[in-house]
Structure 1
Amino acid sequence: MWTLPEPMLAAPVAGPDLPPGGAVEPKWDGFRALVSVDAGRVLLRSRRGTEMGPAFPEIMAGVGQLPDATALDGVM
Structure 2
Amino acid sequence: MTWTLPEPMLSTPGLTPDLQPGWAAEPKWDGFRALVSVDGGGVVLRSRRGTEMLQAFPEIGAGAAQLPDATALDGELVVWDAAGRLAFE
TM over 0.5: yes
Q: Secondary structure at the match of 1:45?
A: strand
The match for 1:51 is: 52
1:10: which partner in 2?
11
More helix by percentage: 1
Structure 1 stretches of 5 or more lacking a match? none
Q: Runs in 1 of length 4+ with deviation above 2 angstroms?
A: 11-17
The TM-score normalised by the length of structure 2 is 0.76
> 1:29: Cα distance to partner?
3.1
Deviation at 1:46, TM superposition (A): 0.5
Aligned to 1:71: 72
Task: Please give the root-mean-square deviation of Cα atoms over the aligned residues, in Å.
Answer: 1.3
Q: Percent identity, please.
A: 75
| Alignment: residue pair count | 76
The residue that corresponds to 1:35 in the other structure is: 36
Shift of 1:57: 1.1
Q: Gaps (5+ residues) in structure 2? A: 78-89
Higher relative contact order structure (alpha carbons within 8 Å, sequence separation ≥ 6): 1
